[in-house]
C-alpha cells in the first residue's frame, strides 16, 4: 500500500487526488487546516459567481471515493510537522495555496482602513480568519489597487445593491454592512494601461450591467483602436469592454473609475486612511511603468490592495522568498516532498490551471515512489493526532456542517456559511 498525504483541500489538492486515486494500492489523506474543504472555491471565488463554485461537486466526487479521506481542522506546521508527515507517508504534497497578501510597500500602508484583498475577500466570503475585519464602508471613496480579476471582484461586490446579491452566498455580516455602505466612488488603480490588464472579458463585462453603478474609462487612456489587433482574442474582448465604457458613460449613483497609468506612492490620513497619493506613470518600450513625477490625491476611506498573494513558509520546507512560494523543481521540493497549485506556481491561473498541474504531479510522484516503502500512513497519523488530543473533522462531518449551512440559507441563497471555526464545530456537536 502506498500512502500519500495532500496538504490543502483546494482545487490543486483535489485535482491531484483525482489522478492519484485511480492508481492501485493507494491511500490518500487530504489534510486541511479548516474544518471545511475546497480552499478558495469557498473563500475566494466571488459569492455572486455560484456557477464557478459548482466545481466543488467534482471534488466531492473525489472525496467520496474509498481511497481518499478528508482530514479537516489539522494545521500542518502547527498540529503536525512536515518531518512527521514525511516519516508517515511515502509522499507529501503541499497544496496550501497562497493565502497571504503580498504587502503593499508604500508609506501609510499600515493605516487603519488599508486592507489586502485576501482579508477583504475572506471577509465577504466568511473565511474564519477574517470574519471580524469590519472594513470601513462609511466614506464615499474607495481605492482598489490592481488590474486583475480580484480587483474587479472587489469593486463589483462594493458596488452591488442588496437585491443584486440574491442567489449568492455572501455571508450575513458582509450583506448587512454593504447594505448600509456609504461607498459612492470606486477607483481602480493600474500602473500600466488598458492593454496590460489581467482582467477577463466576462468579469469586466459584468460591470456594465450593475443596477446602481457604472464603469468609467478615460478615452485618452486607450491606445489607437488598430493596436487591439495584436492582442490575443480574450484580451481583445476585455479591451473592447473598456472601449465601450469609455464611449458610453452612463450616469448612475455609484461610479467605478478605471485610473490607468496610476501608481500609488503613499497613503495618508489622521488615524485612518483619508487619501491616496498617486503618481502618473508612463510605459517604456518594454512596457514597464515609470513614475513621471506628476502626483495627485484621491479621497478614500478604504483602500483594498489586490496586488497578489504569497504562500506562507512552513518550517523545514525550502522557500523562495522573492516569489513567495515553495522552492521547487517542477513540483519536487525534497525527496518525498512535493508541491502543486498556487503553492508551486505562485498565485496565477484559474481553477482549471490546477487540473493539469495536479495530474502531472500525481503521475510524477507515482513513478517516484513505486510500490511504496511500508510507511505507517493513515493509522500512523491517527495515533499521532490522538496522542495530541486532536480529533480531525471527517468528510462526513463536513457534510453535516454543509447541511446545517444549507438549512440556514436565506430565501434564494444556496447556504448561510458559518464564519467561525467554533460555529462549524458546534454544528457537529463539538
Instruction: Give contact residues for ligand FAD (rule: CB under 6 A).
Output: 7-13, 31-34, 39-40, 44-45, 49, 52, 75-77, 95-97, 99, 121, 150, 153, 341-343, 349-351, 354
* Least distance to ligand FAD, CB of residue 50, Å: 11
* Least distance to ligand FAD, CB of residue 399, Å: 17
Query: Which residues does residue 93 pair with via DSSP β-bridges, in sequence order?
Result: 6, 338
- Angle between the N-to-C axes of helices 172-179 and 117-124, in degrees from 0 to 180, rounded to the nearest 10: 100
192 annotated as ligand-binding: yes
Which residue, chain included where needed, has cell 518531518? Answer: 83
150 annotated as ligand-binding: yes
40 annotated as ligand-binding: yes
225 annotated as ligand-binding: no
3-state DSSP assignment of residue 78: coil
> Rounded to an integer, what distance in angstroms lies between the CA atom of residue 349 and that of residue 40?
13
What sign for the dihedral angle of Cα 302, 190, 39, 179? positive
For the sheet containing 114-116, what is the strand order?
114-116, 302-305, 141-145, 185-189, 254-259, 213-217
> Rounded to an integer, what distance in angstroms lies between the CA atom of residue 62 and that of residue 24?
15
143 CB-near residues (< 8 Å, 6+ apart): 186, 187, 189, 264, 276, 298, 300, 302, 303, 304
> Rounded to an integer, what distance in angstroms lies between the CA atom of residue 63 and that of residue 55?
13
191 annotated as ligand-binding: yes
148 annotated as ligand-binding: yes
Q: Which is nearer to ligand FAD, 213 or 351 (CB)?
A: 351
Q: Which is nearer to ligand FAD, 10 or 215 (CB)?
A: 10
> Rounded to an integer, what distance in angstroms lies between the CA atom of residue 22 and that of residue 154?
39
* Least distance to ligand FAD, CB of residue 31, Å: 5
Q: Which is nearer to ligand FAD, 34 or 188 (CB)?
A: 34
227 CB-near residues (< 8 Å, 6+ apart): 195
Cβ distance 259 to 155 under 8 Å?
Answer: no
Q: Which is nearer to ligand FAD, 222 or 351 (CB)?
A: 351
12 annotated as ligand-binding: yes
Q: Which is nearer to ligand FAD, 52 or 421 (CB)?
A: 52
* Least distance to ligand FAD, CB of residue 79, Å: 8
* Least distance to ligand FAD, CB of residue 297, Å: 28
Nearest CA-CA partner of 155 in 98, 223, 210 = 210
324 annotated as ligand-binding: no
N-term to C-term CA, the chain = 33
Q: Which is nearer to ligand FAD, 80 or 222 (CB)?
A: 80
What one-character-per-residue DSSP string does 99-112 give? -EEPP--STTTTSB
* Least distance to ligand FAD, CB of residue 12, Å: 3
39 annotated as ligand-binding: no
Cβ distance 270 to 111 under 8 Å?
Answer: no
* Least distance to ligand FAD, CB of residue 286, Å: 28
> Rounded to an integer, what distance in angstroms lies between the CA atom of residue 385 and that of residue 96?
20
349 annotated as ligand-binding: yes
* Least distance to ligand FAD, CB of residue 153, Å: 6
Q: Which is nearer to ligand FAD, 171 or 343 (CB)?
A: 343
Furthest-apart CA pair in the chain: how many Å?
68
Q: Which is nearer to ligand FAD, 31 or 369 (CB)?
A: 31
100 annotated as ligand-binding: no
Question: How would you classify residue 256: left for phi > 0, otherwise alpha for psi between -120 and 50, otherwise beta?
Answer: beta
Q: Which is nearer to ligand FAD, 39 or 193 (CB)?
A: 39
* Least distance to ligand FAD, CB of residue 41, Å: 6
* Binding residue ranges for NADP(+): 147-150, 191-192, 203, 349
* Binding residue ranges for FAD: 12, 40, 76, 342, 349-351
* Binding residue ranges: 12, 40, 76, 147-150, 191-192, 203, 342, 349-351
Amino acid at each position: 500500500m502506498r500512502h500519500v498525504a495532500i496538504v490543502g483541500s483546494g482545487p490543486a489538492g483535489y485535482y491531484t487526488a483525482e489522478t492519484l486515486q485511480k492508481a492501485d494500492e493507494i491511500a490518500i489523506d487530504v489534510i486541511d487546516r479548516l474544518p471545511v474543504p475546497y480552499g478558495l472555491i469557498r473563500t475566494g471565488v466571488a459569492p455572486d459567481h455560484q456557477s464557478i463554485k459548482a466545481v466543488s461537486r467534482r471534488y466531492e466526487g473525489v472525496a467520496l471515493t474509498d481511497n481518499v479521506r478528508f482530514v479537516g481542522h489539522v494545521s500542518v506546521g502547527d498540529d503536525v510537522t512536515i518531518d512527521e508527515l514525511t516519516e508517515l507517508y511515502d509522499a507529501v504534497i503541499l497544496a496550501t495555496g497562497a493565502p497571504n497578501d503580498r504587502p503593499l510597500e508604500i508609506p501609510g500602508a499600515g493605516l487603519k482602513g488599508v486592507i489586502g484583498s485576501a482579508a477583504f475577500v475572506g471577509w465577504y466570503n466568511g473565511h474564519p480568519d477574517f470574519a471580524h475585519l469590519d472594513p470601513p464602508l462609511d466614506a464615499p471613496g474607495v481605492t482598489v489597487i490592481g488590474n486583475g480579476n480580484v480587483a474587479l471582484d472587489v469593486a463589483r461586490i462594493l458596488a452591488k445593491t442588496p437585491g443584486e446579491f440574491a442567489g449568492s452566498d455572501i455571508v450575513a455580516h458582509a450583506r448587512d454592512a454593504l447594505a448600509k455602505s456609504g461607498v459612492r466612488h470606486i477607483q481602480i488603480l493600474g500602473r500600466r494601461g488598458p492593454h496590460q490588464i489581467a482582467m477577463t472579458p466576462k468579469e469586466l463585462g459584468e460591470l456594465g450591467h450593475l443596477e446602481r453603478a457604472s464603469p468609467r474609462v478615460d478615452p485618452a487612456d486607450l491606445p489607437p483602436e488598430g493596436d487591439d489587433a495584436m492582442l490575443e482574442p480574450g484580451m481583445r474582448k476585455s479591451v473592447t469592454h473598456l472601449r465601450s465604457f469609455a464611449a458610453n458613460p452612463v450616469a448612475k449613483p455609484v461610479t467605478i473609475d478605471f485610473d490607468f497609468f496610476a501608481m500609488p506612492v503613499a497613503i495618508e490620513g489622521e488615524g485612518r486612511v483619508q487619501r491616496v497619493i498617486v503618481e502618473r506613470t508612463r510605459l517604456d518600450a518594454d512596457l514597464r511603468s515609470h513614475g513621471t513625477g506628476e502626483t495627485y490625491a484621491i479621497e478614500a476611506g478604504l483602500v483594498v490592495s489586490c496586488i497578489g498573494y504569497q504562500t506562507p513558509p512552513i518550517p523545514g520546507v525550502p522557500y523562495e522568498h522573492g516569489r513567495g512560494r515553495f522552492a521547487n523543481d517542477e513540483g519536487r521540493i525534497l525527496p518525498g516532498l512535493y508541491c502543486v497549485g498556487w503553492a508551486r506556481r505562485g498565485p496565477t491561473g484559474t481553477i482549471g490551471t490546477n487540473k493539469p498541474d495536479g495530474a502531472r504531479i500525481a503521475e510524477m510522484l507515482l513513478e517516484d515512489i513505486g510500490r511504496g516503502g511500508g510507511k505507517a500512513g493513515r493509522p500512523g497519523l491517527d495515533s499521532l493526532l490522538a496522542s495530541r488530543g486532536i480529533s480531525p473533522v471527517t468528510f462526513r462531518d463536513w457534510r453535516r456542517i454543509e447541511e446545517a449551512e444549507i438549512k440556514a440559507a436565506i430565501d434564494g441563497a444556496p447556504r448561510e456559511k458559518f464564519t467561525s471555526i467554533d460555529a462549524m464545530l458546534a454544528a457537529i456537536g463539538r
